[in-house]
């Protein structure tokens, strides 16, 4: 395993992290912005008004995208272990 292989593996790891963490973070961000606008317009400054919808949206996102996330993580793990076996076998 040379430096190029390690670099490719690290790049793939960062891509997997972005694929897994990006959608829930973006949904939380969008719901948070919408709830902040609603709080500003209605002048309700209760923290749970923003927290509960944001939490619900993130949970729904995780439930909907769960199979995709599991598949992505499983594929990456298989490739990583295959590389480890290839290095150990040579």
Q: Provide the CA 35 distance to its chain's centre, in angstroms.
A: 22
Residue 17 and residue 73: Cα distance in Å, rounded? 9
24-40 b/e (C-beta count within 10 Å ≥ 16 → b): beebeeebeeebeeeee
Band of residue 22 on the pLDDT scale cut at 50, 70, 90: very high
Q: Can you read off the two tokens belonging to residue 6? A: 């390690």
Please tell me the pTM assigned to this model.
0.78
Tell me the pLDDT tens digit for each residue of 39-74.
888 888 887 888 899 999 999 999 999 999 999 999
């Amino acid at each position: 395993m040379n430096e190029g292989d390690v670099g490719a593996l690290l790049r793939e790891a960062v891509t997997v992290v972005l694929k897994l963490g990006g959608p829930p973070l973006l949904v939380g961000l969008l719901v948070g912005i919408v709830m902040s606008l609603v709080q500003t317009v209605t002048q309700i400054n209760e923290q749970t008004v923003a927290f509960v919808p944001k939490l619900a949206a993130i949970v729904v996102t995780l439930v909907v995208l769960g199979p995709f996330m599991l598949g992505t993580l499983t594929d990456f793990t298989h490739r990583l272990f295959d590389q480890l076996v290839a290095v150990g076998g040579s």
